[in-house]
Amino acid sequence: MLIGLGVVAIVVVWLVFSVIRKALGLALLAALIIGGVIVWNDPDLLHATIGFASELFGAR
């Protein structure tokens, strides 16, 4: 009885964490897409971002 309850608890916890991980991944993907659209549509922000990235990666 207790072993079955423990197995069920482990399966439930595994399902909850897998759903949370997937939801966080989708939220991160949505944030990257929204951020990219915002940067792409704002020329000043786009130039600032390109300048920051070129300084960060050492391009001239």
Of residues 59 and 18, the one with the higher pLDDT is: 18
> Can you state the angle between helices 43-57 and 2-41, rounded to 10 degrees?
110
Q: What pTM was computed for the model? A: 0.65
**Mean of the pLDDT values across residues 44-58?**
92
Non-local (6+) Cβ contacts of 49 within 8 A are 39
Looking at residue 1, its pLDDT comes to: 83
The reported pLDDT for the residue numbered 12 is 94
Read off the pLDDT of residues 1-50 as tens digits, 9 standing for 90 and up: 888 899 999 999 999 999 999 999 999 999 999 999 999 999 999 999 99
